[in-house]
């Protein structure tokens, strides 16, 4: 039972990590990488004790028959499919919560400024650089210094490097911004 609680706690940590920090380009790749790994470990903590509890179930016995490697492969594939589905759902819920947090701060005290478009860059979120996410980078001056953040290039693909755009950012959390 202790392992199940640890698994749930790890899944909650991964969810909150994305919900609180994913909007900030500075932390984006670290948050993406850690949330994936913490979710995997948390799901393992949930999966194996649950599997042990239901080991007398006919389906569990079928998927993990000793000596039948094709059933073991099917069992691993089912586990990976469930893990992928849970990770995707968790990410979507966390991104939605991040948007609500962003909306909360942008409905409070905001400051309007001019941002400069720096261009498109690709940021890797795994140890290998094969998996990347493109961002349209903008730079703007805040009370805390210069901030660089990313926009979705599909939505803001019309912007060109060195172009000036008007944005509003939260006075209390300058990483929350919106294009005017």
Q: Quick one: 127 and 76 in the same domain? A: no
Cα(79)–Cα(77) distance, integer angstroms: 5
Listed in sequence order, the residues at least 6 apart from 9 whose beta carbon sits closer than 8 Å to its beta carbon are: 42
Structural domain total, the chain: 2
Position 180 scores a pLDDT of 84
Given 74, 106, 138, the domain boundary residue is 106
Q: How far apart are the first and last CA of the chain?
A: 51
Phi/psi of residue 24, nearest 5 degrees:
-90, 115
Reported pTM: 0.76
Task: Say whether both 172 and 88 belong to one domain.
Answer: no
Is residue 35 within 8 A of residue 114, CB to CB? The reply is: no
Q: 35, 16 in Cβ contact below 8 A? A: no
- Ordered per-residue pLDDT tens for the chain, 180 residues: 788 899 899 999 999 999 998 888 778 888 888 888 898 889 888 877 666 665 555 555 555 556 666 666 777 788 788 888 988 999 899 999 999 999 999 998 999 999 999 988 887 766 555 677 888 889 999 888 888 888 888 888 888 888 899 999 998 888 899 898
Residue with tokens 């670290």: 30
Same domain as 46, residue 124 = no
Co-location of 128 and 152 in the same domain:
yes
Looking at the structure, tell me whether residues 75 and 98 fall in a common domain: yes
User: How many Cβ atoms from other residues are within 10 Å of residue 11's Cβ?
Assistant: 21
One domain, residues 74 and 134: no
Q: Both tokens of residue 33?
A: 């990488």
- pLDDT score recorded for residue 104: 93
122: three-class secondary structure by DSSP = strand
Q: What is the pLDDT of residue 94?
A: 93
Structure confidence at residue 140 (pLDDT): 92
Residue that is last in its domain, among 58, 89, 106: 106
The owner of tokens 């039972």 is: 1
Q: What pLDDT score does 132 carry?
A: 77
Residue span of the structural domain in which 147 resides:
110-179
**Residue 55 has what pLDDT?**
59
Which of these three, 62, 78, 106, is where a domain ends?
106
Q: Say whether both 41 and 101 belong to one domain.
A: yes
Comparing C-alpha atoms, which of 154, 38, 54 is closest to residue 90?
Answer: 38
CA angle, 88 as apex, 38 and 1 as ends, to 5°?
A: 45
- pLDDT at residue number 86: 86
| Token couple for 99 | 């948007």
């Amino acid at each position: 039972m202790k392992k199940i609680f640890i698994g749930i706690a790890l899944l909650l940590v991964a969810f909150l990590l994305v919900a609180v920090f994913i909007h900030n380009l500075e932390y984006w790749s670290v948050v993406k990488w850690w949330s994936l790994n913490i979710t995997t470990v948390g799901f393992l903590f949930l999966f194996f004790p649950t599997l042990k509890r239901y080991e007398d179930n006919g389906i569990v016995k079928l998927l993990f028959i000793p000596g039948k490697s094709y059933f073991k492969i099917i069992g691993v594939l089912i586990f990976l499919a469930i893990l992928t589905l849970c990770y995707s759902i968790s990410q979507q819920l966390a991104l939605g919560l991040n948007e609500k947090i962003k909306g909360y701060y942008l409905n409070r005290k905001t400051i309007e400024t001019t941002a400069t478009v720096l261009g498109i860059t690709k940021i890797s979120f795994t140890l290998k650089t094969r998996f990347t996410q493109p961002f349209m980078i903008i730079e703007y001056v805040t009370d805390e210094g210069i901030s660089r953040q990313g926009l979705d290039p599909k939505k803001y693909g019309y912007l060109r490097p060195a172009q000036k755009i008007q944005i509003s950012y939260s006075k209390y959390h300058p990483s929350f911004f919106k294009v005017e």
